[in-house]
Amino acid sequence: MTMDNGAISVQSSYSDDILPVHRHYKGQFEAQPARIYMDEEGRVWASYKAESDTSTMDEHHGRTLTWEIPHNITGPSLDNLIQRISPLLNRVYLGHSIEWDGSNLVGDLSDDALAASEAIEAEVSVLGEGDTLDVCSAEDWDSAGVLRDDVTAETTDEEIATLAAAEQQSAIEDRRVYLTGIGDYLTTLRDGMRDTEVAA
């Protein structure tokens, strides 16, 4: 869904996603950084960076502008943030020009656009704990093995999905923690119990 906000156009709504820009690759110590992006046409979107240490040519040359956001920002908070900064994004867009520097087409910001960009960074910096969720793997969350009591060898895939959703909701509401891999973790517990029964 595209939402027009004057000169800019926001490409999507994120309210239905718990953590829309969170991505943590297996084997990596940290989650991928996340950004709000605006291209030279005024299109605005948010996403994680697929490669932490690389930028596209449009980003490198300032044709696409980016602002860092918490990777664990919730969907509703991300939508609220984009709504709040839309007037600032408009100012950046209106003061963002693309010029030939002799080698490349590069982006340049007017003084007002630069001030608006800095104001966007300030808005991001005041995001609080209520705007984000801590992230924990289901295995680490269940270090005491409590969830093992809720799973048996006979637990069906449908029951696992229901249990996973309930545990996820409880963790978010009670502790503001998002559990990664909760469904896979419960399935592994169930399958391990089945293997034990077969071996016996």
- CB atoms closer than 10 angstroms to residue 118: 12
pLDDT of res. 125: 97
Predicted TM-score (pTM) of this structure: 0.87
pLDDT of res. 54: 79
Whether the predicted pLDDT of 116 surpasses 90: yes
pLDDT of res. 2: 45
Please state, in angstroms and rounded to a whole number, the distance separating the CA atoms of residues 70 and 72.
5
Whether the predicted pLDDT of 134 surpasses 80: yes
pLDDT of res. 21: 97
**pLDDT tens readout for residues 175-194:** 999 999 999 999 999 999 99
Q: How confident is the model at residue 200 (pLDDT cuts 50, 70, 90)?
A: low
Section 135-163 average pLDDT: 93
**pLDDT tens readout for residues 23-80:** 998 888 899 999 999 999 999 999 999 877 778 999 999 999 999 999 999 999 999 9
**What amino acid occupies position 41?**
E
Angle at the Cα of 151 (from 31 to 20), degrees rounded to 5?
Answer: 25
What is the 8-class DSSP label of residue 33? P
